[in-house]
């Protein structure tokens, strides 16, 4: 399936911010807060290439969490100089908890975009996967 021709494709950054497919930049990555729409409803790109594929998104999640957590921690440390550091950490954790769904979604999106940039493959479509399986040679012993 091709990208619809009725309008120009979104920019890379705009598609990432709006959580769209890294190939066509139109299909939504998520059907609900935590459920991915796999494959892409527009171009058919398989988001999860293999079991455990999104383990790499843990690194993105860690980076995003630090980018949110550290500035809040430092700001609270400067604003509340006499407060114990553990209490500041607890306050940061409480402020961070509502952001977990967004961090989860954007970590997966970042991982997909990085992987698509790093190793684009047209095997990652249902038709491409079926074609690859059809032409795959059996392993030799």
Domain coordinates of the chain in residue numbers?
12-124
Over residues 60-104, the pLDDT tens digits come to 999 999 999 999 999 999 999 889 999 999 999 999 999 999 999
Instruction: Please enumerate in sequence order all residues whose Cβ is within 8 A of that of 24, keeping only pairs 6 or more positions apart, or say none.
Output: 1, 3, 9, 40, 42, 43, 45
pLDDT digits (tens, 9 = 90+) for 3-54: 445 556 678 888 888 999 888 888 899 988 888 887 888 888 888 877 888 8
Looking at residue 37, its pLDDT comes to: 84
d(CA 24, CA 39): 12
pTM of the shown model: 0.74
pLDDT at 124: 56
Q: Give 34's contacts (C-beta < 8 A, 6+ positions apart).
A: 101, 104
């Amino acid at each position: 399936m091709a990208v619809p021709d009725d309008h120009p494709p979104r920019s890379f950054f705009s598609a990432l911010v709006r959580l769209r497919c890294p190939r066509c930049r139109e299909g939504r990555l998520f059907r609900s807060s935590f459920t991915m729409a796999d494959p892409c409803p527009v171009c058919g790109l398989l988001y999860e290439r293999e079991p455990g594929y999104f383990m790499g998104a843990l690194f993105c999640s860690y980076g995003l969490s630090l980018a949110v957590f550290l500035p809040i921690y430092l700001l609270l440390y400067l604003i509340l100089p006499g407060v114990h550091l553990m209490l500041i950490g607890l306050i940061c954790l409480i402020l961070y908890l509502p952001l977990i769904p967004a961090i989860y979604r954007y970590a997966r999106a970042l991982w997909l975009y990085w992987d698509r940039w790093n190793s684009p493959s047209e095997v990652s479509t249902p038709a491409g996967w079926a074609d690859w399986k059809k032409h795959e040679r059996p392993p030799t012993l």
